[in-house]
A and B are shown apart, each in its own frame.
Chain A
């Protein structure tokens, strides 16, 4: 398998490189090479499909003699998770990434027309690089023990935090997004190379929007996974892994707007090219940050493998230098066209918006890269001094309290940096979104503009009043609520206006509306979430918090062996059964906690399990060898086991030698258990031999553990109560979380609509034909079913 798998990967790399080289020969007039380029593209798809198929087969067939399968799968794993385990580790995720890329390449062959050799040469090179990374971390390596291949009976199993349905969905979608982000990059390089500075924008626009939508969807799914299952408390933690995927999403947003401006008026040609190159650089930089292990101490995600660090640095440098060289090569050849000089024009607003997004991206990416930047000798300490006074810093101990703080000045930021720096900048983009969509590309009639703004402004004022009434007082969230409502209103008006010319043109405005809902939800759920209250609920009792009654019914074990707390949440007549999971996972050596969320339209009740305290009997004492514990007036010291050397046939005595102190007197006594063999009645097999204590009570040996040298002593007669089991949960109420999900879903939906529209617009038309978009769903059906 090792040999076969390696040969297949090498074949995929070779096919991709063959496509790259052959296509690169075409522009100089070698038309024959075009055929080999296409063959290479098709062959690489076959090879990658075989690689993925083989890897899947190894997982499904439980081939634990393969190191990768051994590390990420086990016998008890369900079949669909065995498929998902393919992308649980680095090599598998690279191959999924490359697979989507190569699938996209097949479509690109048909859609690129004259640009085909240029686009695919660049694009297939990127896929080849991804496959090389996979080859270095070869997933087909056999499992070795002591230098010898062995076939273990069972694997180590999938990390339980990955063992849920989001693992099936989130990574593939993320990699669709990442793979598609390479398309605008390839188109941009191709546009420069071919000197087609406008045409590439038209062809790359639907791909860019698709990549943007998929990346946005992946961010949503990741956030939902973190919120609903992993119990990180929120959907967004400004964690480096999250940030590094967010930044390319920002630049992709800027890129889409720049492309639209260029298509409409021909301006921003250079900006679009730079943004397209930059976006892919950032995608790859995100991969570098999360895969190379440089952030391993600064993230809740654990990426510690160092194996790819230098080759990834090399590839990143190659992409960056290559991008700059290519841009510099044709920079002077690119014609530039004036943008509109009017402030109140879409041209101007898009420029402002690009600047704004770039500033946000710079802030977030600088913050995320801080562990890398501060690792430069001499920089760390001085930066730490300057920034430490303003923001909360992480010296490597935030995620692992036992770790040693970094002494070389390395540090990272925690969430507070971003939540201080980003919202004011975000407010500016919201303001741009209020007016921007209403403007014409070159100029605007101010009177019409103001008239359109009336109703949204009124709505904003009403919303602010409602906010004040509900108790919001701080300026920033009030501004957010007001301005977001305003922008919601204007974009809604634009949707109503454009619906007349077909539903397909509303994509962009729908995305704006989604973003507004998202922002309101995000502001509400972060700033107006109640504090996290720790509740200690005894079994069978009810505690009230934030208007909800929490009743703890007990601890249960699911058939899969996961423990959960059974809690009934009631509000008025409305009851809800919350079952947050809490159990110890032997494989991870850690306690796994999965929160339980009760979602309502306007707020979520978030129940995060902390601890389960089993019932505690005060008449019992668990004493280790040499230890002293007391029950009531008695103090016991466990001196040692007493096991008689010669035992009678069929029975054995085990005694615990105890020193008992009671009201100043000290006596030694030995309560015993007699084990009887050949006893027909199993209840009679263990006989208790209690001893009488001074004071009229008796003590018996309830249980013993010879390995750990512990005994449990029970005193009968004192009649102490038994404390019930208790659940410790942290409860909070987060308003507006539903708006967050709804907003992102609307945004992504808008993205998909825009993608369909731009795909249709990008299709070749007979000369002189006006572009016509289908108005009803029939057009969509033709688009999906046709061609």
Chain B
């Protein structure tokens, strides 16, 4: 180009306003002030002088609005001439504002390229070209002040362009490497955390097999307190949950803990009995529960009460084997023990249901008490 680009000399945008131009001039004039180089090599001083002279000239033109307008016209003409020799003339240029066109359509022009690269730091060009920042740490300062023109926001040259990362192996490695430990950690936390996992997932011991059903039954009776069947089911579960421990581990601590279940069962059966009066079977269960509770805690009154209930119940239903088995348990534990009557009841069980588990149990009990 014939004319030096004043904007390039002052390192400002061609559309920069007067204030920006003045600021840039001050900065550069100060930077290349020959006085600052007093004592430096002759060549350096000479270069600074030349540079300073160019800066002064550029500022003299650009600071005067009239001269600047004239210069702008001249600059665009020369640029257009340069582009038209390089490429075929672009029709679009004719009907747009020449200054606008300058930055848009002059990639071949070295000055234009300079502008677009520098424009990456200006906000209005932000959206057009995203700068490629140099993300590496700055060089060590080593306890000394950074140099005056030190750029704390270095960018990479677009020529050293890197391709935008696509989903690649690195991504998968990073994602998996982060997700897996996070998932493992999360699941670990949730499993050891304050909450208990629902009891259904735990493997229940055979003695605890009724616990889940029991809780559901309890809810059922809370939701429908007038349903006799719900109360009976609930009471039966209470009964069974205590009975299974009594049969399999009568000396265990667990049975001691389960003893109050008998009382809960009695209360639940009584609720059912209120709703369905005169049900002998329920009365029989009450009796059995009272007996077992009395035996468990060694309270004769409960045993006697249970025996009483059971006698009423067997009077109504004389051939219920379970009831007969239970009444025998009561009889051998009252004071004084009615062992003969108990054995008679158990023998009846054998005659009613020979070969059944009840009969086997009855035979075992008869043998046990005969031996005493």
Contacts and interface: CB of A to CB of B under 8 A. Distances in A.
Interface string B18-42: 0111011001000000000000000
B195 A198 contact: no
Interface stretch (A112-120, A466-474, A487-495): A112-120
B182 A10 contact: yes
Interface in B164-187: 164-165, 168, 170-171, 174-175, 177-179, 182-183, 186
B121 A33 contact: no
Interface stretch (A18-26, A564-572, A723-731): A18-26
A136 B193 contact: yes
Interface in B143-181: 143-146, 152-154, 162, 164-165, 168, 170-171, 174-175, 177-179
Contact of B198 (A28, A149, A768): A149
Given A10-B182, A150-B219, A333 B190 contact: no
Interface in A419-433: none
B137 A335 contact: no
Given A32-B165, A147-B199, A768 B139 contact: no
B123 A764 contact: yes
A198 B134 CA distance: 17
B316 to A, nearest CB: 31
Interface stretch (A189-197, A577-585, A703-711): A189-197
B152 A198 contact: yes
B139 A195 contact: yes
B9 to A, nearest CB: 12
Contacts of A18: 174-175, 178-179
B154 A114 contact: yes
Nearest to B223: A153
Given A18-B174, A770-B23, A135 B186 contact: yes
A633 interface: no
Contacts of B13: 766
Contacts of A10: 182-183, 186
Contacts of B19: 769-770, 772
A601 interface: no
A293 to B, nearest CB: 14
B341 interface: no
A342 interface: no
B196 A768 contact: no
Contact of B186 (A9, A113, A117, A137): A9
B16 interface: yes
A147 B198 contact: yes
Contacts of A199: 152-153
B125 to A, nearest CB: 9
A54 to B, nearest CB: 16
Interface in B37-57: none
B212 A148 contact: yes
Contacts of A31: 135, 162, 165
Interface stretch (A138-146, A279-287, A624-632, A665-673): A138-146
A334 B215 CA distance: 67
Given A29-B136, A36-B171, A116-B133, A766 B198 contact: no
Contacts of B16: 766, 768-769
Given A196-B152, A763-B123, A148 B198 contact: yes
A768 B141 contact: no
B257 interface: no
Nearest to B186: A10
A17 interface: yes
A6 B190 contact: yes
A13 B186 contact: yes
A195 B137 CA distance: 6
A448 B96 CA distance: 56
A656 to B, nearest CB: 31
A598 interface: no
Contact of B145 (A144, A146, A335, A768): A335
Given A14-B183, A113-B153, A32 B143 contact: no
Contacts of A775: none
Nearest to B125: A766
B189 A135 contact: yes
Nearest to A192: B137
A769 B18 CA distance: 9
A764 B153 CA distance: 10
B135 A116 contact: yes
Contacts of B135: 26-27, 29, 31, 34, 114, 116-117
Given A10-B186, A114-B154, A147-B199, A36 B141 contact: no
Instruction: Tell me which of B11, B20, B154, B162 has the highest count of chain A C-beta atoms within 10 A of its own C-beta.
Output: B20
A758 to B, nearest CB: 16
B178 A17 contact: yes
Interface string B211-232: 1100110110000000000000
Interface in A1-56: 6, 9-10, 13-14, 17-18, 21-22, 25-36
B319 to A, nearest CB: 38
Contacts of B10: 768
Interface in A170-185: none
Contacts of B118: 767
B140 interface: yes
B138 A27 contact: no
Contact of B143 (A117, A194, A335): A335
Nearest to B198: A149
A71 to B, nearest CB: 13
Contact of A138 (B122, B190, B199): B190
A194 B138 contact: yes
A144 to B, nearest CB: 7
B34 to A, nearest CB: 21
A506 B81 CA distance: 52
Nearest to A13: B182
A336 interface: yes
Interface string A743-771: 00000000000000000000111111110
Interface in A138-167: 138, 141-142, 144-150
A117 B133 CA distance: 11
A389 B84 CA distance: 94
Nearest to B21: A768
B12 A22 contact: no
Nearest to A3: B190
A146 B219 CA distance: 11
Nearest to B202: A147
Interface string A667-686: 00000000000000000000
B94 interface: no
Contact of A768 (B24, B144, B175): B24
A497 interface: no
A560 B199 CA distance: 40
Given A116-B133, A116-B135, A337-B145, A14 B182 contact: yes
A148 B215 CA distance: 7
Contacts of B11: 767-768
Given A17-B182, A144-B196, A333 B141 contact: yes
A307 interface: yes
Contacts of A266: 145
Contact of B140 (A17, A114, A137, A195): A195
B179 A14 contact: yes
Contacts of B126: 764
A197 B165 contact: no
A116 B20 CA distance: 28
B59 to A, nearest CB: 12
Contact of B142 (A14, A114, A333, A772): A333
A138 B162 CA distance: 43
Contacts of B88: none
Contact of B27 (A13, A335, A336, A768): A768
Given A138-B195, A144-B196, A195 B138 contact: yes
5 contacts: A113-B131, A147-B196, A335-B141, A336-B143, A765-B123
Interface of A: 6, 9-10, 13-14, 17-18, 21-22, 25-36, 67, 113-114, 116-117, 132, 135-138, 141-142, 144-150, 193-199, 266, 307, 332-337, 763-770, 772
